[in-house]
Structure 1
Amino acid sequence: MTTPLPVHRLLRFALALTVGAGLLLIGGTTPSRAQNIVLMVNGEPITDFDIEQRGRLDELVSHKKPSRQEIINELIDDKVKIKEGKKYGVDPGPSDVEGSYSGMASRMRITPDQLTKSLEMKGIRPETLKSRMRSEMVWTSLVRGRYKERLQVGEKDVADKVQAENGEKLQVEGTEYKMQPIVLVVPRGSADATLEARKKEAELYRSRVGSCDEANSLFRSTPNAAIRDSVTKTTADLPEPLRKVLDDTPVGHLTPPEVTKQGIEMVVLCSRKPTMIDTPKKREIREKMYVEKFEKTSKSYLAEIRKAAMIEYR
């Protein structure tokens, strides 16, 4: 199970570690290994070392030194979130957490090992960050899953808000693209000659495919190749470079091949047609309203389960 991780706070953490084009590795003190149990939360301990580690991470993220009680409250929240998640079958495995950790490193344009080294040089174990990530993954999934209807943002509410703020148009002309991704698999560690051979193969397929039906027929019977389900995106969903590629590709044909971790990837463009899309301002307001609903619901839910938690100070 992989759950998208909200990074509104952790992005500041990324910025704190990234300087210029590279990563600034500044020496830090070695964390103490005190393991005195400070309190128990639903039968699970929180130690002096846990508090020290979370404090270091919080200070790195916010550039402010949190109070000891603020840190303890955060760790209590993590424990009750994890327990609540297990109650509803939301329990990310190690591979899910590692995936989020690697994703953060990728957004910082560094490797997971570089992220780990940077944390360690600042006296923070990578497990401290991973634990924080895990609780946020659980919590995001729980709130979105249990309160899906409550979090919905009505179109009329969004429209009224846009009109009240500046009276901008709600929609503008755009383009809708229907497409199917295609992968020519190249196993990791393959020789350069193998990759080049698959590139030439991709170009040959580009000259042969003239419709989505042809692409489906061809790639569903091609060894070490896959054609995925069709997806529909609009101008608002795609970055400008990809929009240009799709606009330059004739309908029914394949986009130029691109080398990825999976191998050689292309997209067959099934249709391209004009449509109306939301304005940037409307999308911004909808997202803001959703975040407000999410935070209000999250706060209420957390307060509820904390009341039921067994918290025992030592």
Structure 2
Amino acid sequence: MIFPEVDEKTMAKWTWGRIVGAAIAGVMLTVAAALPAAAQNVRVTVDGTPITDMQVSQRVRLFALEGNKTGTQGATDQLITEAIQMAEAKRLGITVSNAQVDDALQQVARNIGMGQDRLVQMLQEGGVNIDSLRDRLRAAVAWNAVTEAAIMPQVQISDFELDQQAATRVQDYQNFDYILKEVIFVGAGSSNRSGQANQYRASFTGCDAAVPLSLSYTDAAVVDIGRRHATQMPEALAKELAGLNVGGITKPRVVESGVSMLAVCEKTQAEDLTFIKGDLRAEAGNDALAEQQAKYLADLRERAKIIYN
């Protein structure tokens, strides 16, 4: 959550004078933000882009609403970073529209469970001009675009390393490939259905007899599940199937549509790491991307001309 939620009772206690005062403060902040940089004290310039005392002060107040205690130094560093990010976006021909910033602002409001007008009101109460948040969101959107255009293509994931990692995560019960049929007793009344399912299971002789046997029961159906690897199934079910031979059938379990059992029609030893590798690839990709982003930004910062006044 970016901002703490404002207590409704606290809001209700506002006096008319306080509301007017907050509104005036908001107008003054807006006017102050609209003043040219030359009329304000410039604290830092980043490749010729000024960062003023007003911007730093506004960002500190925004930090305070978020519980960020890094203060003036943290606010200044963040504004420098944003100036560098915006400059790189401009170099790459990336522009961020006001509509994109509006969408990002709306997402912030949704994330903290309030309307956009309420968010603006809360910012004003904290002495924060909405433009301070909009500027930060604009830089974030621009940096995302830079990441997609220039950083993500540099991220490479080694399939060999993924194979090695995946192999260490595969358990013995996951080394099987199955062709399955589901036998399901449809309808409410799970205890009655479970009794029928247990009778069916006791009489089950294999997949070829699954359908003929089901005809002896009311509301019993046989569904071809097809090929499934153990890693595609819940752990408990995968462990149970690993202990069955071809022609075996799992114990009845209650599902949303009734009572279900899985029959093993084929079972082969298989070291299919596809599904585990998919999760690993996402993890490794996120880590590698974050590392590459940090390196890219550090390189930009090292080349930037940053002058503190």
Which residue of structure 2 lines up, in the alignment, with residue 145 of structure 1?
A: 149
User: TM-score if structure 2 supplies the norm length?
Assistant: 0.53
1-side partners of 2:290 and 2:57: how far apart? 27
2-side partners of 1:159 and 1:103: how far apart? 38
Distance 1:69 1:151, change over 3 A: same
| 1:123 counterpart letter in structure 2 | G
2:1 aligned with 1:18: no
2-side partners of 1:58 and 1:117: how far apart? 16
| 2:294 counterpart letter in structure 1 | K
Q: Secondary structure at the match of 1:109?
A: coil
1-side partners of 2:112 and 2:175: how far apart? 35
- Deviation at 1:126? 1.3
Distance 1:85 1:164, change over 3 A: same
Which residue of structure 2 lines up, in the alignment, with residue 53 of structure 1?
A: 58
2:46 aligned with 1:41: yes
2:115 aligned with 1:111: yes
Equivalent residue pairs, number: 199
| 1:50 counterpart letter in structure 2 | Q
- Deviation at 1:85? 0.3
Contact 2:152 2:289 in 1 (8 A): no
- Deviation at 1:288? 3.0
Distance 1:305 1:166, change over 3 A: same
Contact 1:170 1:278 in 2 (8 A): no
Distance 1:93 1:163, change over 3 A: same
2:285 aligned with 1:298: no
Greater C-alpha radius of gyration: 2
Equivalences for residues 233-312 of structure 1 within 5 A: 285-312=280-307
Question: Identity over the aligned pairs, expressed in percent?
Answer: 21
Show structure 1 runs of 5+ residues with no match.
1-11, 174-235, 237-247, 249-275
Distance 1:293 1:36, change over 3 A: same
2-side partners of 1:49 and 1:85: how far apart? 24
2-side partners of 1:106 and 1:39: how far apart? 34
| 2:55 counterpart letter in structure 1 | D
- Deviation at 1:118? 1.4
Match of 2:90 among 82, 86, 92: 86
Distance 1:19 1:122, change over 3 A: closer
- Deviation at 1:298? 1.2
Moved more, 161-170 or 286-295: 161-170
| 1:82 counterpart letter in structure 2 | M
1-side partners of 2:104 and 2:9: how far apart? 19
User: TM-score if structure 1 supplies the norm length?
Assistant: 0.52
Q: Secondary structure at the match of 1:129?
A: helix
Aligned residues: CA RMSD: 3.9
